[in-house]
Amino acid sequence: MPVENFGLQRQPFEVSGQPHTLVNTRPLQQGLSFLRDMLDDERGAAWVHGPAGSGKTTLARRFLQQSQDEMAVALVDGDGLYASQLLSCVLDQFGYEVAL
């Protein structure tokens, strides 16, 4: 849906880089809480999905930003990557050079 329909002049969420604006909304806080709960649960798993421009990347970046002092983190856009390429990208962010 065009952003003009919402009275906006530009898309508030970017696919790359930092968002133009970060509004600390209830859904953002709930998403962060959900991810923290899943991380604390030894059997936890999380799947974040939604339409393009809904803030998934912003949520992931915010969560990783808040968590990086507690643990090692990596953020990889796996779109179009094979499993081996995805794994290589993750390992690369942790300083490992692996030829798969």
Q: Give start and end residues of each alpha helix (H) in 1-100.
A: 26-40, 56-67, 83-93
Query: Which residues, other chains included, contact 9 with Cβ-Cβ below 8 Å and sequence gap of 6+?
Result: 3
pLDDT range class, residue 78, cuts 50, 70, 90: confident
Token pair, residue 60, equals: 């992931």
Mean pLDDT of all residues in 42-71: 85
Question: Which residue, 31, 7, 30, 11, is CA-closest to 19?
Answer: 11
As a residue count, the chain comes to: 100
Give the C-alpha separation, 16 to 13, whole Å. 9
pLDDT surpassing 90 at residue 46: no
